[in-house]
């Protein structure tokens, strides 16, 4: 099964909650009018897109219908799909222009941060890159062992210290290993704590100083992992992390376990940060770089092919 088929299957709950109902709504209206637009707006909000984003999408759809003199249901759906693709934006490739490049991964505990690191490491290795992972989340019980399992599955090296150690010391060791072993990418796991933002900011600042000193001038990504099942709460969580780090991209996990996939659109609109990876399952290949056309097609059409 290709990733597009997995994506369609993984988005079933969200599709059933809204996007799968679009056809029914369009068929039930004999003409394209304000009542139809209000019905679509309500469905968008029910898919956890958020009222502000839903209203913005429908306003654009209203203008498009007027400008293009749209009168047919299929044309309304095509117009809506185009607007949603524009709202979510194209995914952006990781900026990995130096050897090594650094990917710092942040996110609260439980969002799928560790598994995301393993899957991204596997993805990069499949592209022929040599990857090293730094286990700098030294505070959570069993975090290092869990990461070790995923690195073993991905076939990449892990740099670790004992639980409770200094995260910056782990990053220091990993930076040295990346240079010595000729790694293309160093992925750094970080502690997932938000209850004390000052501690989080201090820790990330310390890691930042180590990277700047040991790997000056490297390409850097800071990716925030968000659990899609939390819907609009993911937006709130992201805003908190934006106070602590300059986030360059988002990783959206667990899209297969939620009916709130519409939150993806408001996350992008509210934060202005590109979605770089999405996950729809537990297997290594179930996390892939984000493609907005594929995503919207999978939401709407069970029978469309990529």
> What's the CATH class of domain 101-290?
alpha beta
Q: Would you place residue 207 in the very low, low, confident or very high pLDDT band (cuts 50, 70, 90)?
A: very high
The predicted pLDDT at position 46 comes to 76
96/237: higher pLDDT: 96
Q: How far apart are CA 23 and CA 118, in angstroms?
A: 38
Residue 170 has pLDDT above 80, yes or no: yes
Q: Domain residues of the chain, as ranges?
A: 3-88, 101-290
Same fold: 3-88 with 101-290? no
Whole-prediction pTM value? 0.86
Residues 6+ positions from 266 with CB-CB distance below 8 Å: 48, 49, 50, 52, 53, 232, 235
Residue 306 has pLDDT above 70, yes or no: no
The predicted pLDDT at position 216 comes to 96
The predicted pLDDT at position 18 comes to 67
Spell 229-253 as b/e; 16+ CB within 10 A means b: bbbbebbebbeebeebbebbbbbbb
Task: Convert the pLDDT of each residue in 251-284 to its tens digit.
Answer: 988 877 666 667 778 777 778 888 899 888 788 8
Task: Convert the pLDDT of each residue in 62-79 to its tens digit.
Answer: 999 999 999 887 789 899
Percent of the chain residues past pLDDT 90, beyond the cut? 43
Residue 4 has pLDDT above 70, yes or no: no
Residues 6+ positions from 34 with CB-CB distance below 8 Å: none
Please tell us whether the domain made up of 3-88 is placed in CATH 1.20.120.140: yes
Average pLDDT, the chain: 86
Task: Convert the pLDDT of each residue in 23-60 to its tens digit.
Answer: 788 878 878 889 999 999 988 887 777 788 889 999 99
Which range is least confidently modeled, 155-159, 168-172, 272-276? 272-276
Q: Would you place residue 304 in the very low, low, confident or very high pLDDT band (cuts 50, 70, 90)?
A: very low
Q: Would you place residue 303 in the very low, low, confident or very high pLDDT band (cuts 50, 70, 90)?
A: very low
Task: Convert the pLDDT of each residue in 216-260 to its tens digit.
Answer: 999 999 999 998 878 777 888 888 888 878 999 999 888 776 666
The predicted pLDDT at position 293 comes to 86
Of 164-168, 185-189, 243-247, give the range with the top mean pLDDT. 185-189
The predicted pLDDT at position 173 comes to 97
The predicted pLDDT at position 260 comes to 64
Of 115-119, 135-139, 289-293, give the range with the top mean pLDDT. 115-119
Residue 129 has pLDDT above 50, yes or no: yes
Write out the DSSP string of the chain: --HHHHHHHHTHHHHHHTGGGHHHHHHH-SS--HHHHHHHHHHHHHTT--HHHHHHHHHHHHHHHHHHT--SHHHHHHHHHHHHHHHH---------SSSEEEEEE--TTSSHHHHHHHHHHHHHHTT--EEEEE---SSTTHHHHHHHHHHHHT-EEE---TT--HHHHHHHHHHHHHHHT-SEEEEE-----S-HHHHHHHHHHHHHHHHHHSTT--EEEEEEEEGGGTTHHHHHHHHHHTTS---EEEEE-GGG-S-TTHHHHHHHHH---EEEEE-SSSGGGEEE--HHHHHHHHH-TT---
């Amino acid at each position: 099964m290709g990733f597009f088929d997995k994506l369609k299957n993984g988005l079933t709950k969200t599709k059933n909650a809204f996007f799968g109902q679009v056809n029914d709504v369009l068929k039930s209206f004999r003409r394209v009018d304000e009542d139809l637009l209000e019905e679509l707006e309500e469905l968008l909000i029910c898919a956890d897109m958020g009222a502000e984003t839903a209203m913005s999408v429908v306003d654009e759809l209203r203008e498009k219908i007027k400008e293009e003199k749209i009168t047919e249901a299929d044309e309304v759906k095509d117009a809506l799909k185009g607007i949603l693709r524009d709202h979510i934006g194209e995914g952006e490739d990781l900026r990995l222009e130096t050897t090594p490049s650094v990917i710092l991964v942040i996110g609260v505990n439980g969002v799928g941060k560790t598994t995301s690191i393993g899957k991204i490491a596997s993805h990069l290795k499949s592209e022929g890159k040599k990857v090293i992972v730094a286990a700098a989340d030294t505070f959570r019980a069993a975090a290092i062992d869990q990461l070790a399992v995923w690195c073993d599955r991905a076939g990449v090296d892990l740099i670790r210290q004992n639980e409770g150690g200094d995260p910056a010391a782990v990053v220091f060791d990993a930076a040295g290993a990346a240079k010595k072993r000729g790694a293309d990418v160093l992925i750094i796991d970080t502690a997932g704590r938000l209850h004390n933002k000052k501690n989080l900011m201090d820790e990330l600042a310390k890691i930042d100083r180590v990277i700047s000193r040991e790997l000056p001038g490297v390409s850097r990504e800071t990716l925030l992992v968000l659990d899609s099942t939390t819907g609009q709460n993911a937006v709130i969580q992201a805003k908190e992390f934006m106070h602590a780090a300059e986030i360059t991209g988002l990783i959206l996990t667990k899209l297969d376990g939620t009916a709130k996939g519409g939150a993806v659109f408001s996350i992008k609109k509210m934060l202005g940060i590109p979605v770089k990876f999405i996950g729809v399952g537990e297997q290594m290949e179930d996390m892939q770089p984000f493609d907005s056309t594929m995503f919207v097609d999978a939401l709407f059409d069970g029978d469309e092919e990529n």
